[in-house]
Amino acid sequence: MKNDHPTIQAFRALRQSEQRAPELNLEMLKVIARECGADDAGVVRLDREELDGERPFVLQAFPQTQSLISIVVRMSPEPLRSTARSVANKEFHAATDEIDMVARKIVLRLRDLGVSALNTAAGFPMEMSETPGRAWIVSHKIVAEAAGLGRMGIHRNVIHPIFGNFILLSTVLVDAKVADESAPIDYNPCLECKLCVAACPVGAIASDGRFDAIACLNHNYREFFGGFNDWVQTVADSSSGKAYQEKVSDQETASMWQSLSFGANYKSAYCLAVCPAGEDVIGPFLTDKSGFIRRTLSPLQEKIEPVYVVAGTDAENHVTKRFPYKTVRRIRSGVMPPTVKRLMGTMPLVFQRGQSKGVRAVYHFQFTGGESIEVTMTIADQMLDIQSGLIGRADLRVTVDSKAWLEFLAKKRSLAWMLVTRALRLKGNPKLLAEFGRCFPT
C-alpha cells in the first residue's frame, strides 16, 4: 500500500481537520429523528435490562452498537379499518417505505457527525441463530417499550399513548454512547376493551390475554414466507391446472401474485383496525361506543372471506363456531423448524390449549442421530411444560432419530415406516402418542 495514494492523503487531511464528534444526548437524537421524518423517537442504551434478550443478536449484526434509536411513523386509521384489505395493505406498504427512508436518513445524518449507525429495517430477514423463529436483528416492539414510545396491548401490538396502535416501528443501532436516555411510560394505553378479541378471525387473542402466535402467523401472514412455501408445495403437488384450481381459487392465486409483485399482504390485521386506544384515536369510541362497534368491528366480523388454519387446531374450531360467513381453508403449518433444538423452542407456540383438554401425561423424548437431545414434556390442565433431560417417571418414552422425526413432522415419513425401521421406539401406552399429536397439529 502506497502512503502517497490520493485516497489515503485525502483521508489524513480530513482527519487532521475534522473536529471530535459531538456528545450525543436524548434531545439531540430526537430532534434529528423528527427532522428526518419520524413522528416520535426514543433512545436507549444497549446495556438496559429490557434488552437482555436482544443484545446478542444486535451485537452479532453490528458489534459496535452502544445505543439504539427507536422511531415511530404514523399510519392512517381509515385505510386499516376498511374491509377492502387491498386498501389497508397499501397503507402498510406506504408506511413501511416511509419508515425505512426515515431510518436511512438518520443513519446518514449520524455519519455526517462522525458516528456509525445501522438501519435494521433495511435488507433481508436475518437467520441469525438457533433461536426459534428468529428472523430479525432486533425486536422493534421491545425497544419501543423501553424507549417510552408505548406499551404492548393484549393484541401484542405497541400502542403509542397519542397515536394508538396505528404506527410502524423501526430501530437504528448507533456506535456511540448517549448522555441520557428515554424511560418507559408508566401506564399501558391498552383499554382492555377486548374489541381485538372479538375481531380476530382465528381466535389468536384470548380474553384471558393468552396469544396464539401460530394461528396469527398462519392466517394473517399467509402470503409471507411460511404461507408462500405452502402455496409452492400445493402447486408442485397438483397433477394438472384443473387439480390446482380445485385446491386454490382464482382470487387466492391473484392475491398471491399481488404479494409477490408489490409486497406481501396481511390477510387481516383486524386487531389493529378496531383498537380505539390512543389520545388521537379514542374520541369516536368514547363518544358513541355502539356506533364505533357498528362501523369498525361488525363489517370485519361479517366479511365473507377465506380464513387459513391448520386442520385440528383451536383456530379451526374458532372460525367454525364464531364466523359462519367465513370459509375455512386448511393449510400446512407455516412453522417447520429445521432442527430439533429449534423445534423444542417452537412447541410452546404451536401447543393447542383447546385440543389438549383431558390430556394428562409425562413424555420422555430421547432424540438420537444427528442431534442428541433428551427432553421431558408434561401436558396437564391444558398447559405444556418442557424441561431439559429425562426427569421423573414417564407415561410414555419416545426414542427417535432426530432427522426422521423432523421428516415425519414435515409429512415426508409415515409413522408406520418409522416404527418398522426402528427409527421410532415407544415404551408405554402408544395411545398417548396420538394424544400428544392432537396437541401439536401441523
99: its cell numbers: 419508515
Cα 157 to Cα 140: distance, rounded to the nearest angstrom = 11
Contacts 24+ apart (CB under 8 A), 16-24: 18/114, 20/114, 21/113, 21/114, 21/115, 21/176, 22/113, 23/179, 24/67, 24/115, 24/174, 24/176, 24/177, 24/178, 24/179
The DSSP 8-state label assigned to residue 94 in this structure reads H
Q: Which residues contact 265 (CB under 8 A, 6 or more apart)?
A: 85, 86, 89, 223, 255, 258, 259
Residue 293 has pLDDT above 50, yes or no: yes
pLDDT at residue 129, rounded to an integer: 43
- C-alpha distances (whole Å) from 199 to each of 27, 68, 204, 278, 297 are 39, 34, 10, 19, 6
Residue 209 has pLDDT above 90, yes or no: no
Cα 397 to Cα 117: distance, rounded to the nearest angstrom = 51
DSSP labels, 395-428: SEEEEEEHHHHHHHHTTSS-HHHHHHTTSEEEEE
pLDDT at residue 368, rounded to an integer: 96
DSSP labels, 32-77: HHHHTT-SEEEEEETT-GGGTTTHHHHHHH-TT--EEEEEEEE--H
pLDDT tens digits along 24-70: 999 999 999 999 999 999 999 999 999 999 999 999 999 999 999 99
pLDDT at residue 19, rounded to an integer: 52
Measure CA of the first residue to CA of the last residue in the chain; give whole Å. Answer: 59
pLDDT tier, 201 (very low <50, low <70, confident <90, very high otherwise): very high
The mean pLDDT of 178-197, rounded to a whole number, is 96
pLDDT tens digits along 395-439: 999 999 999 999 999 888 999 999 999 999 999 999 999 999 999
The mean pLDDT of 3-16, rounded to a whole number, is 72
* Percentage above 70 pLDDT, the chain: 94
More confident residue, 181 or 1: 181
Residue 15 has pLDDT above 70, yes or no: no
Query: Residue 94 burial by CB count (10 A; 0-12/13-18/19+): exposed, middle or buried?
Result: middle
pLDDT at residue 208, rounded to an integer: 87
Tell me the β-bridge partners of 376. Answer: 364, 387
Which of 407, 200, 384, 202 has its CA nearest to residue 300?
A: 200
Q: With contact defined as beta carbons under 8 Å apart, do 143 and 44 qualify?
A: yes
pLDDT at residue 356, rounded to an integer: 96
The mean pLDDT of 282-308, rounded to a whole number, is 97
78: its cell numbers: 381509515
Least confident of 7-21, 49-63, 97-111: 7-21
Counting every residue written for the chain, the total comes to 442
Which of 415, 435, 312 has its CA nearest to residue 363?
A: 435
Q: How many CA atoms lie within 13 A of 332 on its CB side?
A: 18
Mean pLDDT of the chain: 92
Q: With contact defined as beta carbons under 8 Å apart, do 42 and 149 qualify?
A: yes
pTM of this structure: 0.89
pLDDT tier, 125 (very low <50, low <70, confident <90, very high otherwise): very low
The mean pLDDT of 107-124, rounded to a whole number, is 85
pLDDT tens digits along 244-263: 999 999 999 999 998 888 88
